[in-house]
Amino acid sequence: MNTHKPSFKDTLTIGLMLFALYFGAGNLIFPSFLGQNAGSNVWIAVAGFLITGVGLPLLGFLSLALSGKDDVQQLADGAGKLFGLIFSIILYLAIGPFFAIPRTGNVSFEIGVHPFVPAGSEKIALFVFTILFFTLTYFLARNPGKIVDVIGKYLAPIKLTLILIIIGVAIAWPMGAYQAPIGDYDTKSFFNSFQQGYLTLDTIASFAFGMVVLQAVRAKGAKTKKEVTSMGIKASLISMVLLMFIYGSLAYMGATSVSQIGYVENGAQVLAKVSAFYFGTYGNLVLGITIIVSCLTTSVGLTVATASFFNKIYPKIAIKRYVLVIAIFSAIIANLGLTQLLAVSMPVLMVIYPMVICLVILVLTNGLHGGSKPIYQLSMFFTFCVSLFDGFKTAGWDFASGIQAFYAAYLPWDNVGLGWIIPALCGGILGYIITRIKGKVSEA
C-alpha cells in the first residue's frame, strides 16, 4: 500500500510531464507562424490563440477530473451510448493516426532534418525519416514503462531549457520590427487565431492526457477524489502557465523575424530559419534534436492513449497490435507533408472542435441541468448542424452554399467561425423544456 504523501515536487514533476506531452508538434509551429502573419497585431492574435490553445484544454481536463469519468467516451455518453462511441472514435482518430501523430513526424523532419537535406531529395528523406521515427515510436509505445517519470523528471526540463534559450535570445536581440499583418490577420486577428488554436488539438488531447495525469497523481499517493482532483488541477495549471509564456514568446519571435527570413510556408520553417540565423548550423542541429525528442514524446503518449482506447472497445486485439497499426498508418499519412496535412486537417477540426467545446461546457455545468440527455443531445446536434457547414466552407466546397449563405445572414458571429454558439444554446434550452415536460408527465 502506498503511504507516500504527495509533495510539491511530485506536483511539479507531473505538471512538467503534462507540459511535455502537450508541447509537441502543433504547440511549436503554430504560434511562430501566427506571429509572422499577425505582425503588428501579434498580441491580439495571441489572446485568441490562448483561449483555444490553453484555456479550453484546461477546461477539458477539469471536465474529466471533476466528472469522475474514465475517458471522453463516458463523457459523451450523456448524449447516448451510440453517440458516445462514434464521437470518441472520431476524436481518437484525430489525435491519433489521422492528424496529431503523423504531424509529430512531419515537424520533427521539417526542423530536425530538412535543413540538412540537399535540394530535390526532400521526399525520399521524409520517407526514410518517418519510417525510422515511427519505428522508434512503436518500440517505445509497446513498452512505455516509467514514461511519466522519465518525461517529467528528465525530458521535459531539457526540452524546456533549450526552447527557453532560443526564445530568450530572440527576445533579447530581436531580428527586426513588426511587419504589417497579412491576410485575415489584418481585420480578424483575434478570431482567426482562435480558430488556429483548434490545430493544436490540445482540447481533444486533454481527455487522453488527463487520464495519464490522474493515474500519475494516484501513483504519487493521492487517495481521495478531492486530493486527486486538487493535485491534478495544480499540475495542469503549471503546464498551462508554461504553455502561455512559451506561446507568447514564440509568437513574438515569429512577428520580429520577417525582415530577416521573409514569409515562409509553415511554422516549422520559421523555427528552423530563426535558429539558423542566431546559432548557425550547430544551433540548428541542437534545435533539431530537441524537437525530435519533443515530438517523439508526444507521439508515444498519443499512440499509447489511442491504442488503449481501441483495446478497451475491442479487447480481442492486443494493445501491441493496435500500436503497430497506428505507427504504420501514421507513417503513411506523414508522407503527405506538413503543409498538406495541415490543409486537410483544418476542415475536419472546424466540424468536431465546436462539438468538443460544447461537450466540455455541458459536463462542467452538469450540476445545473442534472446531466439531462435531451439537453446533451440537442445542444450537440444543433452545434453539429452549423459546424458541419463550417467544415465545408473551410474545405472550399460550394455544394452547400445556400445553407452557408443562410447561416452567414442570420447567425451571429458566423463570419468568425462561431455561428454554432447560439444554436447550441437554443438546443440546450429546448432540451431543458423537454426534460421538464417529461418530468411532469412522469409525476402525473
Average pLDDT of 174-192? 89
pTM: 0.81
- Phi/psi at 145 (5° precision): 55, -125
> Which CATH architecture is the domain 8-335 placed in?
Up-down Bundle (1.20)
What's the rounded Cα separation, in Å, for the pair 169 and 420?
A: 42
What's the rounded Cα separation, in Å, for the pair 313 and 89?
A: 9
- Phi/psi at 379 (5° precision): -60, -45
DSSP string, 201-218: -HHHHHHHHHHHHHHHHH
Contacts 24+ apart (CB under 8 A), 433-439: 434/374, 434/378, 435/369, 435/372, 435/374, 435/375, 438/374
pLDDT of the residue at 1:
47
pLDDT of the residue at 444:
46
Residue 417, pLDDT > 70, answer yes
What's the rounded Cα separation, in Å, for the pair 273 and 284?
A: 8
Asked if 294 contacts 20 with a C-beta cutoff of 8 angstroms, the reply is: yes
Average pLDDT of 1-15? 72
Asked if 254 contacts 35 with a C-beta cutoff of 8 angstroms, the reply is: yes
Residue 329, pLDDT > 70, answer yes
Q: Where are the domains of the chain?
A: 8-335, 348-443
Q: Which of 32-46, 118-132, 281-295, 306-320 has the lowest mean pLDDT?
A: 281-295
Q: State the amino acid at position 57 in one-letter form.
A: P
C-alpha cell at 339: 503543409
Asked if 236 contacts 15 with a C-beta cutoff of 8 angstroms, the reply is: yes
Under the phi-then-psi rule, with left for phi > 0, alpha for psi from -120 to 50, and beta for the rest, what region is 396?
left
